Each structure stands twice: as structure tokens, then as C-alpha cells.
Amino acid sequence: MHDIRAIRENPAAFDAAMARRGLSGVSAEVLAIDEARRAKIQAAEEAKAESNAAAKEVGAAKARGDDAEFERLRALVSEKKAEIANLTDMAKTEDKRLTDLLMALPNIPMDDIPDGADEDDNVEIRRWGTPREFSFKPKEHYEISAAQDGLDFETAAKLSGSRFVVMSGAIARLHRALAQFMLDTHIDENGLTETWTPILVREEMMYGTGQLPKFGEDSYQTTNGWWLIPTAEVTLTNIVNSLVVDESYLPRRYVAHTQCFRSEAGSAGRDTAGMLRQHQFEKVEMVSITHPDKSQEEHARMTRCAEGILEKLGIPYRTVVLCTGDLGAGMRKTHDIEAWLPGQNMYREISSCSVADAYQARRMNARFKPADGGKPEFVHTLNGSGLAVGRCLIAVLENFQQEDGSVSLPDALNRYLGGKTKISAEGILV
């Protein structure tokens, strides 16, 4: 959410930032509502002052026997009370309109974010690894013999519908091993704190991280009002919801492995084959809560944590900075890490590492007390996939597939697979 004071002080700068998001003349609407709200508040305060002054005179009029003045003043006090109540209600209505509008507006892109319309305008900033040259035509993950018995889309469709999968045998174990490997790496080498959180949250938690109100159709809500999390970003970030922490508390670096749920409402017809885009999936999510002066440094650190997972697995990737047209609504800057998928002959997103600055913190009212005793300030929040487990499974299967239909497994996973190094063409860990 945006700071209304900053918009008042420099509406032109705010409009210029929103224009990069494809929105025009936003400040005029914001300031009109703000002015109406402030006018009602001021009018209520003036009416209250008049009411208080009249109330003081009521007793004096009665004492001197001026019944006419007494009745006039009593009527005035009663009239002002009604006026105050009406103005207060009107101010609350305008305040809600203002909050709803500010909640719905996207974050301000950083100055170094490239302008662009969509993912085609994202800018690559680095690559790691060289895509393997195959002596045969590489297959997509669901076509590889080693994976076919372990990826059951037909049974999943019977159980739940499209965009679900039942994993079994070696594939299920590999999937679990990848998640465990990611967690251990982030905890033991990257210094993140392992955290276990609920996957059902209250509505205000979804508002806190910006999934609501704009993206409600992309998530699932239960009949009693809980929401299924689309990512552990929601729970991990909201740990500091409504808190005022000491500066020494920062930074906080969390990691959690959770089930995630997305309706994929805006992706009809995209990636329907295989398990690239699912309604239910798993992610190892990273969240950092930082001092405002450290959030850019933390963003670079978080990106490296995610990239390091792919490097340990030996999976080629590229890192891109998202342009304004592809940038998530709540973020100021995002690095997408895209793993090479030889079956598709292209790089596909496997992690997004983003910095929101104070946008989420203001929604959550999450602040810290400066060590020098100054006024509490909003913390900065960051989140990133470390990584999407299912997509990492796809990358391993496709990059290490063999001509006979088997899949060799990265050395980094050996200790999680009981020393097994391969999935045979028959789907057996050997």
C-alpha cells in the first residue's frame, strides 16, 4: 500500500511511476477522495468544538433562568451531536474508499527496472551452465520412460480434475528428496530459519501481502472464510503483521516447505500437458524481513540462494530482471530465475525473488524501532522461491534423461536417495 503523504507531497512523481505500470492520472482520484475525507474530518472537529462551547453555556443559561436560551443551546448541542455522527460516518466511508484504492494500486517500480509490455521485454542479467548437447531428441518430462509410471495424470483427473498429478515410486521419492535438499541447503549453508506454517489463513493475511483484493480469483477460499495459501510468502511475511520490533530483530530470514494452491484463473490453455502448471504444488519459500537500508543487498543475497540450488544440481539457468509489464503488482523489483528445459528447448521460470520495500509492511502495519530511539519505521519485505519443487523435478528429469529412457540423478541428491544414482527406464531407483 502507498503512503498518502508521499502522494500529496509529489503527485507528479507518483503519476509518473504509475504510468510505467500502464495507469494514468491516478493521483487525481486519490487526492480527491483524500480531500473529501479530510474535509469531513475537519467539519466534524469544528462541529465538535461548537457543541462543546454550547454545552458549557447550557448550565449558565439555566442558572440565570434564561429558559429560552437554555432550550436553544440544548437543541444546538443535540443538533451538533447528530451532525458530528453524520460527518464521522461520511469520513469513515471516504477513508474506506481511499484505503481500498490504495490497496488496489500496484507498487512503484524501481528506477532501474526496464520498461516493457510483457515477458518478452525482460532483461537477462546472467547465465550459468551450458545446456547439454543430446545425441537424441530430448523428451518432455511426462514422456520420459523413467517417469511415466510415477506421474499419473489420469488418476489425478479422476480424483480431482485437471491440473493435478499423483506421484508414486521413484518419482515421489525424488520429489521429496529435492525438497529436503533445498531445505537443508538453505538452513545449513544460507543461514535461513526453518519454519512450519499453516496453509489456511485469515483473509486479512492475504490482504497483508497483496493477494487481495486484486488477485482473489487466483486463490481458493473455504466456505468458512479461510484462504488456501498460494505460497508461504503469505504466512512467513505476516509473522510480523501488526508488530513493532526492535531494530536488532532485523534481518529475519525464513524458509518453509509447504503445499501451495492456485486456481490459475488467468492461464486457461497454457501448459496443460504435464505438471508445469498445477493447482496444487509444493514450494520451498524464502522470506526476509529487513531494515530499509539493507533490502537491496538482501535481494541480491536471496537471488544467489536460489541460484545456488540449481548450481548444486548442475541445471543450467538464466536470471532475468522483470520489466514493468511483467512485474508483480506488489513488487518493486523481481529477478526471475529460469531453468533450462531441453524437452521444451527453452528456459522456464523456476524461482522469482522479489523486493516489496515497505509496500507489504504498510498493509500489515509492520514496523521496527530504530536503535537510536527515533520514530518507528516500516520494515522492508522480500520473498523468493528456493525453489518450486515440482518444476525442479521437471528440470532434473529433462536435463539428465538418457537415450534408453532412464534418468541419471545429480550427485547432490545421493544422500537423500539412499545412495541411488539413477531411475531406470522402468521407473526403479537403482
Nearest to 123 by CA among 300, 321, 317, 307: 321
What are the helix and strand counts (H, E) for the chain? 12, 18
- Residue 351 is labelled as binding a ligand: yes
What is the distance between the alpha carbons of residues 354 and 384, in angstroms, rounded to a whole number? 6
- Residue 140 is labelled as binding a ligand: no
- Residue 385 is labelled as binding a ligand: yes
Give me the residues paired with residue 348 across strands: 339
**Contact of 299 with 335, CB cutoff 8 Å:** yes
- Residue 262 is labelled as binding a ligand: yes
- Residue 232 is labelled as binding a ligand: yes
What is the distance between the alpha carbons of residues 98 and 86, in angstroms, rounded to a whole number? 18
Task: List the CATH code of the domain at 4-104.
Answer: 1.10.287.40
- Residue 423 is labelled as binding a ligand: no
- Residue 406 is labelled as binding a ligand: no
The pLDDT assigned to 68 comes to 84
- Residue 9 is labelled as binding a ligand: no
- Residue 24 is labelled as binding a ligand: no
Nearest to 255 by CA among 380, 387, 365, 362: 387
Give the pTM.
Answer: 0.92
- Residue 315 is labelled as binding a ligand: no
- Residue 350 is labelled as binding a ligand: yes
Torsion angle, alpha carbons of 424, 427, 428, 430, to 10: 30
Nearest to 387 by CA among 327, 333, 336, 321: 336
Q: How far, in Å, are 102, 108, 151, 226 from residue 95 at the CA level? A: 10, 22, 51, 26
Q: Where do the structural domains in the chain lie, given as residue ranges? A: 4-104, 119-423
**Contact of 91 with 37, CB cutoff 8 Å:** yes
Nearest to 57 by CA among 75, 79, 68, 73: 73
Nearest to 31 by CA among 43, 53, 48, 14: 14
pLDDT in tens, the chain (430 residues): 999 999 999 999 999 999 999 999 999 999 999 999 999 999 999 999 999 888 888 878 877 888 788 888 888 989 999 999 999 999 999 999 999 999 999 999 999 999 999 999 999 999 999 999 999 999 999 999 999 999 999 999 999 999 999 999 999 999 999 999 999 999 999 999 999 999 999 999 999 999 998 888 999 999 999 999 999 999 999 999 999 999 999 999 999 999 999 997 656 666 778 999 999 999 999 999 999 999 999 999 999 999 999 999 999 999 999 999 999 999 999 999 999 999 999 999 999 999 999 999 999 999 999 999 999 999 999 999 999 999 999 999 999 999 999 999 999 999 999 999 999 999 999 9
Report phi then psi at 229, rounded to 5: -70, 140
The pLDDT assigned to 386 comes to 97
CATH superfamily of the domain spanning 119-423 = Bira Bifunctional Protein; Domain 2 (3.30.930.10)
- Residue 349 is labelled as binding a ligand: yes
The pLDDT assigned to 52 comes to 87
